[in-house]
Amino acid sequence: MKQRGKISGKRFKQSFITYSFVLPDFIGLLIFIIIPIIYSFYMSFFNWNFANIKEFIGVQNYYTIFHDVAWWQSLLRTFKLTLLYVPTLFGFSIFLAVLINYVKNERIAGFVKTAFLLPYSITSVIASCLWMFLYMDRTGYVNIFLKVIGIGEQKFLGSTSQAMVCIAVVLIWINLGYNIILFLSAIKDIPTSYYEAAQLDGASGWNIFWNITFPLLKPTSIFVLITSVIASFQCLDLIMVMTSGGPAKSTEVASLYIYKQSFDMMRAGYGAALSVLMFLIMTVLAGIMLKMNGKEE
Q: What is the CATH number of the domain that holds 99?
A: 1.10.3720.10
Statement to judge: residues 117 and 220 lie in one domain: yes
Structural domain of 22: 1-37
Q: Are strands 46-47 and 55-56 parallel, antiparallel or unpaired?
A: antiparallel
* Same domain, residue pair 175 and 221: yes
The C-alpha torsion from 88 through 89 and 92 to 95, rounded to 10°, is: -120
Whether residue 58 is found in the same domain as residue 139: yes
Report the C-alpha gap between 23 and 224 in whole angstroms: 26
Do residue 118 and residue 23 come from a single domain?
no
Q: For residues 21 and 78, state if they share a domain.
A: no
| Closest CA relative to residue 135, chosen from 244, 281, 243, 249 | 243
- Asked whether 241 and 107 are in contact (CB, 8 A), the reply is no
Q: What is the mean pLDDT of residues 226-247?
A: 92
The total number of structural domains in the chain stands at 2
The verdict on 49 and 14 lying in the same domain is no
201 or 119: which carries more pLDDT confidence? 119
Residue 294: pLDDT band (50, 70, 90) is: low
pLDDT digits (tens, 9 = 90+) for 85-102: 999 999 999 999 999 988
DSSP annotation string for 125-149: HHHHHHHHHHT-TTT-HHHHHHHHT
Closest CA to 57 of 259, 273, 255: 273
**Residue 257 shares a structural domain with residue 225:** yes
Q: Is the pTM of this model over 0.75?
A: yes
Query: What letter would DSSP give residue 55?
Result: E
Mean pLDDT of 14-43: 86
Is residue 74 predicted with pLDDT exceeding 60?
yes
Judgement on whether residues 128 and 2 belong to the same structural domain of the protein:
no
How far apart CA 151 and CA 164 sit, in angstroms, is 20
pLDDT at 295 over 70: no
Please say if the pLDDT value at position 140 is more than 80: yes
Mean pLDDT of 229-258: 93
Whether residue 157 contacts residue 244, with contact meaning beta carbons closer than 8 Å, is answered with: no
Q: What are phi and psi of 46, to 5 degrees?
A: -125, 160
Do 147 and 5 sit in the same domain of this protein? no
The share of the chain scoring above pLDDT 90, in percent, equals: 53
The predicted pLDDT at position 192 comes to 85
User: Are both 217 and 97 inside the same structural domain?
Assistant: yes
Question: 3-class SS at 47?
Answer: strand
Kindly state whether residues 188 and 101 are assigned to the same domain: yes
